[in-house]
Each structure stands twice: as structure tokens, then as C-alpha cells.
Structure 1
Amino acid sequence: MLQFDKPFATIEIEPEKSLLILTWHGFANSEEFREARTAAVQIARQYGLTKWLSNMKDMKAIRQADQDWSVNEWLPLFQTLHIKKWGLIISDDMFNQMAMSSMMSKIRPKLTHPVEYFQDLNAARNWLERD
């Protein structure tokens, strides 16, 4: 069920699996990046979703200011959700990989649920759908 559809990102939910899928398309500027991440939190809360999939396969670099925003502003909102599993599909873009590595090194210690990294959508979905 498509919830958010913009050129830079889409958010789909599968309520029967308690799953939110945030898929990035190329580069997102600061406004777009923050809009999509904020919308995803609101949608996850609205539907009481417990599994989150960040598909960054086609995502490009993330600005430093947006990395800082993610850690300082977005993470506290994300932590109020009842997420049990978070899967991340790694970007093909080296600059995105470096940004995510830096950001997740700050985010991961603050999380209580498992976070796993994947190369493809099927592997991520399989892990998320197992209890």
C-alpha cells in the first residue's frame, strides 16, 4: 500500500506484515530527506508498524547537516516507535555508504532492536518476516 510517492523517495506499508518500506531514489536534498524520514515515522506510528526497511540501493550522498539531523532530531522520534527489526539495503554509492556508516555508528548504540545490513531486497524481506 503506497503511502508516500515523490521523485526522491517512496514509502510503502504492508500492514499484515507490520512492515514499512522506505525506498530512496537517487539524491534527496535536505528538505526532501527530512520530509521522507519524518513522513515514514508518522506513517509507522499511525499504523503501529514494528518492522522498518530502508532501501538505499539507489540513494546518493547524504549531506553532513542531514546526518546530524538524523542523529539529533529524527532518532528520538524513531525511538518512540515500537520497531522490533530494522533492515537496511546498502547503497551502491560509495559516498552514501560512508555517510551511513558514520551515521549508524552514532545511532546503533542507542537502539535496543536488531539492525541488519543487506545487499538486496529479498534477503532483507526474508530476515524481516522471520520472527
Structure 2
Amino acid sequence: MMLRDIPTILMQYDAAAALVRAAWRRGCPLAEFVPSLTRLVAFSCRHPVRYWLMNIDQLPPMGPVEQAWIMESWFPAMAATSVQHLALVLPPDLHNHMVATAPIFNPPTAMTFELHFFPDDATAFDWLLEHDPRRRELWQEWEAELARLHRDAPDCADAYG
């Protein structure tokens, strides 16, 4: 099911697959990063989520505040979830790519899940749900929501209107 609880994030949740799939919406301000990710983690604490797919290729360049928050707060918060596998779709820009992969070189002690990086959604999705019988249905639901979003509210500012 597609959720619209967090305006900055396109979000799909499927209890049967134990999946949260999320993507940062184009044009959303970086100031919403911490509150949005905090809400996404809180959602994952309240629901049985084993698999996370996060696409950050539309995220503005992260600064030192966001970088520190990821290491000091986000990883410990994720430890309270049941997430076992996180697939992160890397952005094309080098700056956020380096920020996103930093945990490989300096792993946080609170890392309680397997983290893998992917160049695109399809590869990440396949890694997470390779054997799930509803995989195709979930993919089609996401694609339909993307088409609707691009038609009705292409930029983040439209989500708040």
C-alpha cells in the first residue's frame, strides 16, 4: 500500500513482505531530512519491517549536520526496528554518494542490519524480494504511484499545497 504520511517521501509499505520502500521526493528541502527520516524510523518501529529500500538520488547535498545525525542518531534509532536488510540506492552526485557509503569505512556500533548499496531501484528491489511471490504486484503499485505523482504533484512543494 502506498502511504502519504510523510510529504517529502514517496513511501510503500507491505506487511506481508515486511517491506518499506521509500524515495526522497524531488525538490524537497534538506531541512526536512531529519524530521522525515525520524518519522520513517518511527513507522518502522510500529510495524513488522524486515526490509528497507531507500532511494536518495533526489536528496539535496547533505551537510555536516545531516552526516553527524545519521551516525549519532539514525543508526541507533534503526536498532529499535526489526529491519534486517537495508538496500540504499545511491545518488549520482559524488558528494551524497560519499556520505551514504561512509558507514562502510567507519561502521557505527549500532548497525543492526545488513546494508547494501545499489545503482538503481530494480537491482535493490530484486535483492530484497527475490523470492517474494508478490514482487511483481508491489513493483507495479510503486510504478503506478510514480506516474500519478509525476502527473499530479511533480515537486515536493506540491505535496504541501
TM-score range normalised by the length of the shorter chain: 0.7 to 0.9
Q: CA RMSD in A?
A: 2.1
Q: 1 CA distance for matches of 2:113 and 2:39? A: 21
Q: 1:126 to 1:108 in 2, by over 3 A?
A: farther
- More displaced stretch, 34-43 vs 56-65: 56-65
Q: How many residues are matched?
A: 129
Per-residue CA distance 1:27-64 (angstroms, 9 max, x = gap): 5323x001111111111111111111111122231111
1:2 deviation in Å? Answer: 2.7
Q: 2 CA distance for matches of 1:110 and 1:69? A: 13
1:94 deviation in Å? Answer: 1.7
> Tell me, which stretches of 5 or more residues in structure 1 are unaligned?
none
Per-residue CA distance 1:76-130 (angstroms, 9 max, x = gap): 1111111111101010122211221235534456424321111111111111114
Q: 1:102 to 1:96 in 2, by over 3 A?
A: same
Question: Does the CA-based 8 Å contact 2:76-2:110 persist in structure 1?
Answer: no
- More displaced stretch, 53-62 vs 105-114: 105-114
Name the counterpart of 1:33. 33
Equivalent AA in structure 2 for residue 87 of structure 1: A
Equivalent AA in structure 1 for residue 54 of structure 2: S
Q: Report the 3-state secondary structure (helix = DSSP H, G, I; strand = E; otherwise coil) of the residue aligned with 1:65.
A: helix
Within the alignment, does 1:113 sit opposite 2:113 as a pair? yes
Q: 1 CA distance for matches of 2:107 and 2:62? A: 15
> Tell me, which stretches of 5 or more residues in structure 2 are unaligned?
132-161
Q: 2 CA distance for matches of 1:33 and 1:104? A: 21
Q: 2 CA distance for matches of 1:13 and 1:87? A: 15
More strand per residue: 1
Larger radius of gyration: 2
Equivalent AA in structure 2 for residue 86 of structure 1: L
Equivalent AA in structure 1 for residue 51 of structure 2: K
Tell me the percent identity: 19
Q: 2 CA distance for matches of 1:28 and 1:9? A: 11
